[in-house]
A and B are shown apart, each in its own frame.
Chain A
Amino acid sequence: MKQAWLWILAGLIALGAAPEPGQAQTGAAGTLVVGLVAEPVNLDPPQVTDLNSNRVSRRIAETLVTFADESTRVEPNLAESWTISRDGLAYTFKLRKGIQFHDGTPLNAEAVKFSIERQFNPDHPFNKLGKYPFAAYFFGNVKAVEVVSDDTVQFVLKEPRASFLSVLAAGAASIVSPTAVRKHGADYALNPVGTGPFRYVSWERGQRVVLERNPNYWKHPVKVERVVFRPIVEDQARLTELLTGSLDLIVGVPPDFVAQLENNPKIGLLKQVGAHVWYLGINNQKKPFDDKRVRQALNFAVNKEAIVRDVLKGTGAVSRGPVLPDTWGADPALKAYPYDPERAKKLLAEAGYPNGFATTLWVPESGSGMQSPVAMSTVIQSNLRAVGVNVTLQTMEWGAFLAKLRSKEQELFALSWMAGAEDPDLVVYPLLHSSQWTPTGPNRALYKNSRLDELLNQARSVTDQSKRAELYREAQRILVDDPPWVFIDHEIQIAAFSRRVQGLKLHPSFDLRVETISLR
C-alpha cells in the first residue's frame, strides 16, 4: 500500500516535470517577463482582435507606417517615404532597402501585396486562412495593390479616404513573410514571421509566449535578449507575481489596485490616455430621444467625474466627445458637459417631460474596452433617476448584446470603441455618419445630422492634415450641441513595473513597445 502511493507520487512528478521543447530560462539576465490579463489567441496580425495577441504580434511583424512614440502622428516605418495622388486615390510607398524577415526572406513590394491582398481578395490563395475581422472595415475601400517595382508598392482606393495612412499603421496591416505563410498555411498563426524587433521562439499553451531579440533589427538595437509573455487571468495573482518579482511588468492594472501600487516604492506606474471612447448610446430615432433637448439633458444629468473617480479609480479621463483628446483632430476649446442636474430638469421640462419618463439601458456584462460596464451603468442609472428619468438596467452577455443592438430596438446602451480610434475618421465616421446605421454599420445610435455627414465626407477627401483637423473641430462642435450620446470617458491604460525596467513608454494605441525597454 505504502509503495503504491510512492509510485503514484513519482508518476505525477514525472508527468509534470517532463521537459518541453523550446524551453527558456525565466529570470535569466536580459529576460523581460510581462504579465498579460489573458492568453493571446492568435498571432497572425490580421486575425488579431484582442489586445493581448496584439501586444505580442506587433513585436514580431511591423507595418509600412507607424504612429510616433506617444502620439498618433503617422511616421515612416518599413516604408521610408510615400506620395499620395492629387485625387487622394493612389498611395505609393517606397520601401526601406535591405530589410529581411526573420526567416531571411527579403522585404519587398511583393510581400506587401501578399500581406494585404490576402485579407480582402477572395481569390487570393490564402484568403481562406483566417477570419480577418478588419478586412471589410479597413480594406473594403482598396481596389488593388500594385507592385510598381521591387521596392515600390501602390495602393489604389475606390474612394478617397484620408485616414488610410492610419489604417496602414494598424496591426492588421502588418507585413508578414509570404514564405512562412505558404509554408505553414493555417498553422502560420502559430509560427509568425515578420521583420520586427523580436523573433518568435515558442508558445507553451496556457503558460507563455517566448520571443527573442532580432539581432538584425533595422530600426535600433534591442536591449533585452528575450521577452516572455505570461497570461495570468486572476488580478490578485498577477499583482502578487509583480510584487514578488516573478513578473517585471503588467498591463491592465485593475482600478482597485492602483492606489496600493502608487504607494509602493518598489513599483513604477505609467499612465496614458488610450485611443478609446466609452459612451452611453442613445437611440436618436426613438421618442423622446429624437428631441435634442432630451439628449442634452442626459448629458447634463450624468456625473462623469464621479464615475471616473469612484468606479474607475482614475483609470479613465472624462470625455468631451468622440475624438481622442490631445491629438491633432481634437478641439482644445471644447468643454465637457458639466454635471448640472438642475439644467437637465429644466431642459426635460422644456422638451415636454417635466416629470421625466421611463426607459431601458442595455448593458453588456463585459466586453473588449468596456471597463466596468455594470458598475458604471449603475451610477448612470442613479444619476438619471435624480432628474426623473427612470432607467431599468438590462444586463446581457457580450455576444448577445451586440446581436441585440442590430434590432434597432435599443433606447439607451453602454458601448465603447477603439478600432483605429487614433484617427478621428475611424471613430466619428463609422459611429455617427448616417450611411453607417446599424445593421449595415456600427452607427447604433441611428444618428443623422446632414451637416455632420457633409463635414465627414469632406474630411475624407482632403489629405492635408491641418485642413482635416479644422473639419473635425467643426464636427465636434456640432456633436456637442446636438449630442448623439452621453460622452463618458477615455480609458487610461496603466502599466505597473519593477524598478528593473527602464525606458518604458505607453502608446495611445494600447501598443506595448517593450523593444524600448532596458533592464537594470
Chain B
Amino acid sequence: MRRYLTRRLLSLVPVLAGVSVVVFLVLHLSPGDPAEIMLGSQATQEDLARLRAELGLTEPFPIQYLRWLGHVLQGDLGRSIWTRRPVLREVLDRFRATLVLTGSALLLSTVGGIALGIASATRRNSFLDRVSAVVSLFGASMPVFWLGIVLMVLFSLWLGWLPASGMSAPYGGGGVVDLLAHLILPAVTLGAASTAIVARLTRSSMLEVLGQDYIRTARSKGMIERAVVVRHGLWNALMPIVTVVGVQAGYLLGGAVLTETVFAWPGVGTLMVQGILARDFPLVQGCVLVVALSFALINLAVDLLYAYLDPRIRYE
C-alpha cells in the first residue's frame, strides 16, 4: 500500500509538468499581449518595450518556461503581473472559498444523488421514480450560469429568502447561519448536474444489484428490507458510484469557475477569470497548477477509497 501510494504520488510529477507546459504554451501563444492590456491605449512604444522586458516577455518561450519552472520548484509561483502580490498567496487566499463551495456541492450531489437513486430504484416506475427522472434530466442539462441566474431571480429577488451573491457577510461576523444562507444557491447551482448524474447511476447500479441472487437469499432469510437495500444492495452497488463521484469532484472544480463568477463567490474561479482577461500569465498558471494538483489528489483519493470499499482490490 505504501509503495503504491509513493508511486502514485511520484506519477503526479510528470502530470503536473505536462499541465504546466500546456498552460504555458496556450497562454503565451494566444493573442493578447499583457503589456498592451496593462498600459492601455495611451501607451507609447517605448513604455511597452520596457514593460515587456521587465516582465521577462521578450525572451524565448523555453527560457521563460524554464525560469518559471525553476521558481515553481522552489515554491515560488511568481508575482501577479497586475496586483504584484505573490501568486501563491493570491491563490491560497481564494482556495478556501472554492473548497467550501465545491465541497458542499459534492456533499449535496453525493448524499442527494444516492438517496434519490435508491428511492427510484426501490420504487421502480412509481410516481417518485418518474419525477426523479424528469428532475435528473433537467438538472443534468441546465447550463450552470443559466440555472444560477434563474435560482437567483427566484429565491433572492422574488421570494427574498436567500442572499443573491457574495460570501461577504459571514466574514463580516454573520456566523454559520449566514454562511449557509450564502452557500445554498451557489452549491445547488453547482451541484445540480452532478446530483442528477449520481442519482441516475445509483438507480441503475442498484437495480442491477437488487436483481442478484444474494439479494433474494437475504430477503428469503427474512432480513428487513432496509437492511437488504443498504447493507447488501448499496454496499455492492457502490463501486461505480465512487468512480462517478470522483469524476464529478473534478467536474465540480471546473464548474466552480462559472458558478463563482455568477454569484461573486471569492474563489479561485473568479480569480482565474480575472487573470485570463488581464493576460496575467503567472496568476493563471498558478491557478491552473493548484486546481490540477487538487484534481490529481482527488483521483488518488478515489483510488484509495476503492481499496477500502472492495477488499478484493489489492495494490502492489
Q: Which residues of A contact B (CB under 8 A)?
A: 5, 8-9, 11-13, 15-20, 23-26, 38-39, 41-42, 49, 130-131, 133-137, 186-187, 189-190, 204-208, 230-234, 236-238, 240-241, 243-244, 246, 368, 396-400, 402-403, 406, 415, 417, 419, 430, 439-442
Query: Which A-B residue pairs are the 3 nearest by beta carbons?
Result: A206-B266, A399-B32, A400-B31
- In the complex the two chains form, what is the Cα distance from A302 to B93 in whole Å? 49
Q: 26 A–B contact pairs at CB < 8 A?
A: A8-B103, A9-B107, A13-B180, A16-B179, A17-B170, A19-B171, A26-B168, A41-B82, A41-B83, A49-B40, A131-B39, A204-B266, A205-B93, A206-B97, A206-B267, A230-B166, A233-B261, A233-B270, A234-B149, A234-B263, A241-B163, A244-B163, A398-B37, A400-B32, A400-B33, A419-B40
> Which residues of the other chain, B, contact A231 by a CB distance below 8 angstroms?
264
Q: Is the CB of B119 closer than 8 A to any CB of chain A?
A: no
> Which residues of the other chain, A, contact B94 by a CB distance below 8 angstroms?
205-206
> Which residues of the other chain, A, contact B220 by a CB distance below 8 angstroms?
none
> Which residues of the other chain, B, contact A208 by a CB distance below 8 angstroms?
166, 168
- Residues B32 and A398 in contact, CB atoms below 8 Å apart: yes
- Residues A12 and B104 in contact, CB atoms below 8 Å apart: yes
- In the complex the two chains form, what is the Cα distance from A402 to B37 in whole Å? 8
Q: Which residue of the partner chain B has the closest CB to A122?
A: B50
Interface size on B, residues (CB 8 A): 69
Specify which of A9, A16, A204, A238 lies most central, judged by the most chain B CB atoms within 10 Å of its CB. A16
- Residues A241 and B33 in contact, CB atoms below 8 Å apart: no
- In the complex the two chains form, what is the Cα distance from A49 to B32 in whole Å? 17
* Chain B 24-55 per-residue mask, 1 if CB under 8 angstroms from chain A, else 0: 00000011111011111111111100010010
- Residues A17 and B262 in contact, CB atoms below 8 Å apart: no
- Residues B32 and A397 in contact, CB atoms below 8 Å apart: yes
Q: Which residue of the partner chain A has the closest CB to B103?
A: A12
- Residues B46 and A368 in contact, CB atoms below 8 Å apart: no
Q: Is the CB of B99 closer than 8 A to any CB of chain A?
A: yes
- In the complex the two chains form, what is the Cα distance from A246 to B174 in whole Å? 14
Q: Which residue of the partner chain A has the closest CB to B280?
A: A41
Q: Is the CB of B301 closer than 8 A to any CB of chain A?
A: no
- In the complex the two chains form, what is the Cα distance from A212 to B276 in whole Å? 32
Contact of B83 among A42, A397, A419 (CB under 8 A): A42
- In the complex the two chains form, what is the Cα distance from A238 to B156 in whole Å? 12
| A385 CB, nearest partner CB in chain B, Å | 27
- In the complex the two chains form, what is the Cα distance from A186 to B149 in whole Å? 39
Contact of B44 among A18, A25, A136, A398 (CB under 8 A): A136
> Which residues of the other chain, B, contact A246 by a CB distance below 8 angstroms?
163-164, 166
- In the complex the two chains form, what is the Cα distance from A415 to B42 in whole Å? 12
> Which residues of the other chain, B, contact A49 by a CB distance below 8 angstroms?
38-40
| B267 CB, nearest partner CB in chain A, Å | 7
- Residues A5 and B32 in contact, CB atoms below 8 Å apart: no
Other than the known A11-B103, A16-B170, A17-B179, what 11 A-B pairs have Cβ atoms closer than 8 Å?
A: A16-B100, A25-B173, A131-B39, A205-B90, A207-B166, A208-B168, A236-B262, A237-B263, A398-B37, A399-B31, A402-B36
> Which residues of the other chain, B, contact A15 by a CB distance below 8 angstroms?
96, 99-100, 103
Interface residues in B114-151 (C-beta closer than 8 Å to A):
149
Would A244 and B164 be within 8 Å (CB), given that A16-B100, A17-B170, A136-B47 are in contact? Answer: yes
> Which residues of the other chain, A, contact B223 by a CB distance below 8 angstroms?
none
Q: Is the CB of B229 closer than 8 A to any CB of chain A?
A: no
- Residues B82 and A207 in contact, CB atoms below 8 Å apart: no
Q: Which residue of the partner chain B has the closest CB to A38?
A: B274
- Residues A13 and B179 in contact, CB atoms below 8 Å apart: yes
- In the complex the two chains form, what is the Cα distance from A208 to B41 in whole Å? 28
Would A399 and B176 be within 8 Å (CB), given that A206-B266, A237-B263, A240-B152 are in contact? Answer: no
Interface residues in B42-90 (C-beta closer than 8 Å to A):
42-47, 51, 54, 82-85, 90
Q: Which residue of the partner chain A has the closest CB to B101?
A: A16
- In the complex the two chains form, what is the Cα distance from A5 to B245 in whole Å? 14
* Chain B 255-268 per-residue mask, 1 if CB under 8 angstroms from chain A, else 0: 00000011111110
- Residues A207 and B279 in contact, CB atoms below 8 Å apart: no
> Which residues of the other chain, A, contact B160 by a CB distance below 8 angstroms?
244
- Residues A19 and B164 in contact, CB atoms below 8 Å apart: no
Q: Which residue of the partner chain A has the closest CB to B166?
A: A230
Q: Which residue of the partner chain B has the closest CB to A40?
A: B83
| B183 CB, nearest partner CB in chain A, Å | 7
> Which residues of the other chain, A, contact B164 by a CB distance below 8 angstroms?
237, 240-241, 244, 246
- In the complex the two chains form, what is the Cα distance from A480 to B83 in whole Å? 42
Would A207 and B83 be within 8 Å (CB), given that A13-B180, A134-B42, A397-B31 are in contact? Answer: no
- In the complex the two chains form, what is the Cα distance from A131 to B49 in whole Å? 12
Q: Is the CB of B195 closer than 8 A to any CB of chain A?
A: no
- In the complex the two chains form, what is the Cα distance from A20 to B43 in whole Å? 39
Interface residues in B277-306 (C-beta closer than 8 Å to A):
278-279
> Which residues of the other chain, B, contact A18 by a CB distance below 8 angstroms?
96
| A3 CB, nearest partner CB in chain B, Å | 13
Q: Is the CB of B22 closer than 8 A to any CB of chain A?
A: no
> Which residues of the other chain, B, contact A440 by a CB distance below 8 angstroms?
44-45
Would A137 and B271 be within 8 Å (CB), given that A26-B169, A243-B157 are in contact? Answer: no
| A157 CB, nearest partner CB in chain B, Å | 18
Would A5 and B163 be within 8 Å (CB), given that A16-B170, A17-B175, A399-B32 are in contact? Answer: no
- Residues B266 and A207 in contact, CB atoms below 8 Å apart: yes
Contact of B34 among A136, A241, A243, A399 (CB under 8 A): A399
| B292 CB, nearest partner CB in chain A, Å | 21
- In the complex the two chains form, what is the Cα distance from A241 to B156 in whole Å? 8
> Which residues of the other chain, B, contact A8 by a CB distance below 8 angstroms?
103, 107
- Residues B165 and A241 in contact, CB atoms below 8 Å apart: yes
Q: Is the CB of B167 closer than 8 A to any CB of chain A?
A: yes
- In the complex the two chains form, what is the Cα distance from A125 to B175 in whole Å? 45
- Residues A237 and B37 in contact, CB atoms below 8 Å apart: no
> Which residues of the other chain, B, contact A406 by a CB distance below 8 angstroms?
45
Q: Is the CB of B211 closer than 8 A to any CB of chain A?
A: no
> Which residues of the other chain, A, contact B180 by a CB distance below 8 angstroms?
13
- Residues B166 and A5 in contact, CB atoms below 8 Å apart: no
> Which residues of the other chain, A, contact B36 by a CB distance below 8 angstroms?
398-399, 402-403
> Which residues of the other chain, A, contact B17 by a CB distance below 8 angstroms?
none
Specify which of B30, B167, B172 lies most central, judged by the most chain A CB atoms within 10 Å of its CB. B172
Q: Is the CB of B153 closer than 8 A to any CB of chain A?
A: yes
- Residues A189 and B84 in contact, CB atoms below 8 Å apart: yes
> Which residues of the other chain, A, contact B183 by a CB distance below 8 angstroms?
16
- Residues A399 and B96 in contact, CB atoms below 8 Å apart: no
> Which residues of the other chain, A, contact B43 by a CB distance below 8 angstroms?
133, 137, 402
| B57 CB, nearest partner CB in chain A, Å | 12
Q: Which residue of the partner chain B has the closest CB to A204?
A: B171
Q: Which residue of the partner chain B has the closest CB to A31?
A: B172
> Which residues of the other chain, A, contact B97 by a CB distance below 8 angstroms?
16, 206
| B113 CB, nearest partner CB in chain A, Å | 13
- In the complex the two chains form, what is the Cα distance from A187 to B80 in whole Å? 12
Q: Which residue of the partner chain A has the closest CB to B100?
A: A16
Contact of A133 among B38, B85, B93 (CB under 8 A): B38
Specify which of A12, A134, A136, A440 lies most central, judged by the most chain B CB atoms within 10 Å of its CB. A12
- In the complex the two chains form, what is the Cα distance from A417 to B93 in whole Å? 35
> Which residues of the other chain, B, contact A415 by a CB distance below 8 angstroms?
41
